[in-house]
Structure 1
């Protein structure tokens, strides 16, 4: 039976716009390689029909909710159609920053102090109690939606007066938020491809942190690959990243964001199981440094079993 690939992109998460760009880049590459591929946006196509239309493999390029959280993976398992990337459980775990960090911590991996705050807790709770927990972390802090990506709804807070206003804003993106100690340092991102570590990328940005604008739109954001780390430090980073990847049972391809703090220690930030593949995306940059063209990369991801 000849191959028939569906590239799934778009969806209805807050990262739809980036997913459309990623998916179209993947689809164009597959078509140029002469592969029978069709782009599908689940908004316009019932996924249960994928089997009926004879698709033999799915290339997942939906970021965030509905693409990276195990939902889509569960549907494809039910349909018995192979797909790219991590499975149901690891996708569900890594979409949840708090659970991911809890697992990492239990494996002795480096994560900065943080706590989870649910919308219900926030409504019912005594503000003084929340304030105390925040002051334990010491300002500045980061407030992040617990289950969303692309730096959407992330705020850096320097003053106690702004805390509750910012918490409310962050709850627009998720019913749980992560309140985390701010880490000053240098940010790196490390790609994983079929259990191999891709060359790390150092990220430099002019904003107060690496936010949505800095990620996708600002030309002032700079990426360095090679990263400039010493061989010893790069080896240390690779070991941490591989351990972090394996501890949450991820497979196929993905990316882990890390920060090197001012004490020269790496701290794990988060994991991305469907990295962006746009012209601004970091994963293809790292792959290129490892000697893989965009076409090579797409084929490799597609063929990982």
Structure 2
């Protein structure tokens, strides 16, 4: 383990302007507190759209040695902040700008996974309600509608009847104009957190909601998290291998999370990848880390340690 005082001056970037700002503020507070308790010299920056002059001025006055990115959604998880930090020469946590852009784009992910022979549900991309109606027969009901480039289940709906399609399409379309229609997989929801080259224990999620939506993730007290997940050792190991392969395929590095549905026949289906997962008190990566004895401080230090390597401060 790298001593905390060897990380130098660490910039924590959080907040942002995406639909996930509130989540990022909570995640950032967790990371700032954990790193500070661990003895890291932290400077926090709540990122606004006009953040760049402030960042450049601070970096010019006293250079940052590395950055911990805990920005969720557009502007922080899609390669934009990663590109800025690369231009400034500041090493940062997590996936690089190209992998981040791919990870944020559900269509790009699914195309890569299909090309790599990894299992992901059939889908269609639609831009109008008429296109959505035309795609419905092939995908069948129920079907999931999602914005192509949002996280935290923002704008996501499960459509059980054709009459629900219009409202679900409008909700997804409001977040970017491209809508992913995806065959609904009947079964249980699972997630695999990744730390370095290691897949942490699988978590099974159960909620009385239709699916693991924003409320179930961050607000509800009736969501249940099962660790152990209930799979036998071979099935859990297989899901972890698929998660690592899916993460590597999109260029993921450092840390992340891969979400699955497991159907009634035992087939695992890749749903999406998160390159800057949540770090709130409801979040799954800290939960999985605790299951292997890693405190929040140890987890944050391990993530930060990924910025230390050949050619980096």
Distance 2:295 2:71 in 1: 22
- 2:59 equivalent in structure 1: 51
For the Cα contact (< 8 Å) 1:51–1:81, is it kept in 2?
A: no
Q: Does 1:34 align with 2:43?
A: no
Distance 1:203 1:50 in 2: 42
What is the SS of the residue equivalent to 2:144?
A: strand
Q: 1:201 Cα shift?
A: 0.5
- 2:249 equivalent in structure 1: 247
Distance 1:85 1:219 in 2: 29
For the Cα contact (< 8 Å) 1:48–1:75, is it kept in 2?
A: no
Cα deviation code 1:155-200 (max 9, x no counterpart): 1111112212321221112221100111111111101101111011
- Relative to structure 1, the CA distance from residue 101 to residue 50 in structure 2 (aligned partners, 3 Å threshold; closer, same or farther) is farther
- TM-score, normalization: structure 1? 0.94
Q: Does 1:184 align with 2:186?
A: yes
- 2:12 equivalent in structure 1: 7
For the Cα contact (< 8 Å) 2:94–2:255, is it kept in 1?
A: yes
Number of positions where the alignment pairs a residue of Structure 1 with one of Structure 2: 298
Q: Does 1:94 align with 2:103?
A: yes
For the Cα contact (< 8 Å) 2:7–2:66, is it kept in 1?
A: no
- 2:283 equivalent in structure 1: 281
Structure 1 residue runs without a partner (length 5+): none
- TM-score, normalization: structure 2? 0.92
- Relative to structure 1, the CA distance from residue 280 to residue 146 in structure 2 (aligned partners, 3 Å threshold; closer, same or farther) is same
- 2:87 equivalent in structure 1: 78
Distance 1:192 1:174 in 2: 28
What is the SS of the residue equivalent to 2:166?
A: helix
- 1:134 equivalent in structure 2: 136
What is the SS of the residue equivalent to 2:47?
A: coil
Supply the RMSD in Å over aligned alpha carbons: 1.4
- Relative to structure 1, the CA distance from residue 183 to residue 297 in structure 2 (aligned partners, 3 Å threshold; closer, same or farther) is same
Q: 1:2 Cα shift?
A: 7.2
For the Cα contact (< 8 Å) 1:69–1:94, is it kept in 2?
A: yes
For the Cα contact (< 8 Å) 2:95–2:254, is it kept in 1?
A: yes
Distance 2:147 2:168 in 1: 11
Structure 2 residue runs without a partner (length 5+): 1-5, 308-313
One of 11, 16, 19 as aligned partner of 2:24: 19
